Chains A and B, each alone.
Chain A
Amino acid sequence: MADTHAIQSLPLPTFAKVRYNAWQLDDMIPATETATTPFFMKNKENGIEVSGLSTTYQHLTEALTAQGVILMSMVQAKIDYPALLEKMVGTVITKTTDRLSAQNFAQFNTGIFVYIPENVQFDDVLHLTLNHLAASGKDLVARIFVYIGANAKVDILQEIHTISDQKTKASVVVEVIADVGAQVTYANIDAFNEQTTAYINREAEVRDHATLDWQNAEFNDGNAIIRLASQLNGEGATSHANVIGLTTKKQTQGFVTTILNRGRHTLGHIFQRGVILNRSTLVFNGIGKIIKGAQGSDAQQESRVLMLSRRARGDANPLLLIDENDVTAGHAASVGRVDEDQMYYLMSRGISEQVARKLVIRGFMGEVLAKMPTKEAQQQVVTEIDRKLKHEDESN
């Protein structure tokens, strides 16, 4: 209980130009529902689907299991590997960072744990799915932890869904460690429904000569604040943080995407593309921070927002904080409208304005779409974009 008090005294995380105090994200009751059959995953792909407190799908090839890869729900990991969890969980996003992360740490009762030993190479994508079973009206409080050992290589595809239409909240904290020389892509498609208000915080620690690239697709229908961070701690560590988001109706999605260059010769690039429709709000905050001593580092960011409605609100705020001279850095930000040349080109082939607009919007987010690790994931992003734009067709 004293713990609860200490947590409440921590500040809420900062999302500049996003007002979310009224969302009550610091007041959650973790749901305890379970399910027995998978909702989305099938076909013997490497991965896990955790639905509520239960595991509804789990598969890993024998070869990967033999190499020591651990892939299980947090519930199971607490039973099987308590010492490992104790040592690792909470090291990337510590329990005193801010009130919402601290509450997640104290309350999480579900999630996914992945441990990939050194030198393990995945040939196919590793697929992680988290389903919020919301029928009871209670909240999702989940933590995902992924450790990628030295010189290991993996492409991760992570999804989040809400099952049921009850009004609920969600707190998802994702910690990733890319150890020396590891090569990691972490792609995610977040699609909470309109009834879920969400706090999502992902952060990676990137060690010497490791690469961690984020492909972060946010297609939530409810209000959400989304933080994405890379700490480039090791020499020559690299991270590309690619973000796409689409907001519709009256929702707000607020983003903070931040890369910290701490090691020498580190490279951190932020690339964000957002599309705003109807009366919705989308705010990109990009923060590049270079610590003194991070010589030869590079911090770049580009955030662009496409406003498709007069009543929408959008913002792209770049911030560079640099304490070292021997670095390169740059930023670009814009709020604009649909590319007229692309519209003209598509329409000159007979494609209607409405369809052309859809394709141009997709093209605007194409750079991140193209980097999704599988054809299916690319198709899923296309489907999500079409789904989100459907509302616009109906309201026009």
Chain B
Amino acid sequence: MTTLKVENLHVSVAGKEILKGVNLVVNTGEIHAIMGPNGTGKSTLSQTIMGHPAYEVTEGHITIDDQDLADMSVDQRARAGLFLAMQYPSEIQGVTNAEFMRAAINARRPEDDQIGVMSFIEKLDEKREFLSMSEEMAERYLNEGFSGGEKKRNEILQMMMIEPKIAILDEIDSGLDIDALKVVSRGVNDMRSSDFGALMITHYQRLLDYIVPDFVHVMMGGKIVKTGGAELAKKLETEGYAGLRDELGLSVQLTDEDVNSYFVED
């Protein structure tokens, strides 16, 4: 079992404190969802775990199986089993998707045991078809000219190819139509096992209809303010974040005036 542990995490971006003491434990075999209004630090949490250089940990720790992430570079964190499906993946021309994924897989293997071309292609074809992605995508340049939906699918494809221990999915549902959402969810559900854990960040309850979480955490004002099961998301859908805030007696300022606008699309 692999465990990702976040303890009393405080994070600043450009001198401004965004996370103000987050505590969270994600084990393999568990699916967690983090919900919360805009500007509350959900993406900051995911980028900090992965090690984005713009995010500064001012207090607290993040560990994976008791190794402190503070001592690890971004690529070391990835090789230790972490994966971040990004909201805005980079585009890199001149580097094909296939080459990129092969490099990522081989980075995890010893020099004298690199994945063979045939077994790589077989695996890629299988996962690609599972996600209803076209054959030509393998030879296209990395995310270059991909639509928003194609990029999200490509993030999930990478996850399935790399097989991380713990994946963080940062708003993997944003900008997806219902069919694409189903495909992406199918990918995540296919990964579900005792060897895989996920932390999903989302605004919308809708995603959780397709990927049912074991735990739902609500973040407000840079902290996790409530944790529950899948039913907590349903409750939020009807009451909104403001309702929960008032119920908990918090004095958190919500970024948007009309909090219920988050649910209009559903």
Contact = CB atoms under 8 A, between A and B. Distances in A.
Interface of A is mostly: helix
Contacts of B162: 349-350
B94 A352 contact: no
Interface string B101-139: 001100110000000000000000000000000000000
Interface in A337-355: 339-342, 344-353, 355
A382 to B, nearest CB: 7
Nearest to A375: B139
Contacts of A369: 93-94
Contacts of B89: 345
Q: Taking each of A345, A356, A362, A365, which has the highest tally of chain B beta carbons within 10 Å of its own beta carbon?
A: A345
Contact of B93 (A340, A349, A363): A363
Given A344-B52, A356-B75, A366-B141, A349 B104 contact: yes
A18 interface: no
Given A348-B78, A350-B162, A363 B92 contact: yes
Contact of B53 (A344, A350, A353): A344
Interface string B86-103: 100110111100001001
Contacts of A345: 86, 89-90, 92
Interface in A128-176: none
Contacts of B75: 347-348, 350-353, 356
Contact of B100 (A340, A349, A382): A349
B74 A344 contact: yes
Contact of B74 (A342, A348, A362): A348
Contacts, number: 85
Contact of B84 (A348, A351, A353, A359): A348
B93 A367 contact: yes
Contacts of B103: 349, 351, 355, 359
A353 B94 contact: no
Interface hub of A339, A348, A382 (most chain B Cβ within 10 A): A348
A298 B74 CA distance: 44
A370 interface: yes
Contacts of B194: none
A360 interface: yes
B93 A350 contact: no
Contact of B86 (A348, A359, A360): A348
A363 to B, nearest CB: 4
Interface residues of A, number: 26
Interface in B42-90: 50-53, 73-75, 77-79, 83-84, 86, 89-90
B158 interface: yes
A366 B53 contact: no
Contacts of B94: 362-363, 365-367, 369-370, 382
A341 B78 contact: no
Nearest to B50: A348
Nearest to B105: A350
Interface in B126-177: 141-142, 144, 158, 162
A360 B78 contact: no
Contact of B107 (A340, A352, A360): A352
Given A359-B92, A370-B141, A350 B79 contact: yes
A344 B90 CA distance: 9
Given A342-B90, A344-B53, A363-B95, A349 B78 contact: yes
A375 to B, nearest CB: 9
Given A346-B100, A353-B73, A366 B78 contact: no
Contact of B78 (A347, A367, A370): A347
A341 B107 contact: no
A350 to B, nearest CB: 4
Contacts of A352: 75, 107
Contacts of B107: 349-352, 355
A297 B78 CA distance: 51
Contact of A342 (B50, B77, B92, B104): B92
22 contacts: A342-B90, A342-B92, A344-B52, A344-B90, A345-B92, A346-B90, A348-B74, A348-B75, A348-B77, A348-B78, A348-B86, A349-B83, A349-B103, A350-B108, A351-B78, A351-B107, A352-B75, A352-B107, A359-B92, A362-B92, A366-B93, A366-B95
Q: Which 4 A-B pairs have the closest CB atoms?
A: A366-B93, A366-B94, A350-B78, A363-B92
Interface of B: 50-53, 73-75, 77-79, 83-84, 86, 89-90, 92-95, 100, 103-104, 107-108, 141-142, 144, 158, 162
Interface of A: 339-342, 344-353, 355-356, 359-360, 362-363, 365-367, 369-370, 382
Given A348-B50, A359-B103, 15 more contacts: A342-B92, A344-B52, A344-B74, A344-B90, A345-B92, A347-B74, A350-B75, A350-B107, A351-B103, A353-B75, A355-B107, A359-B100, A366-B95, A367-B93, A367-B94
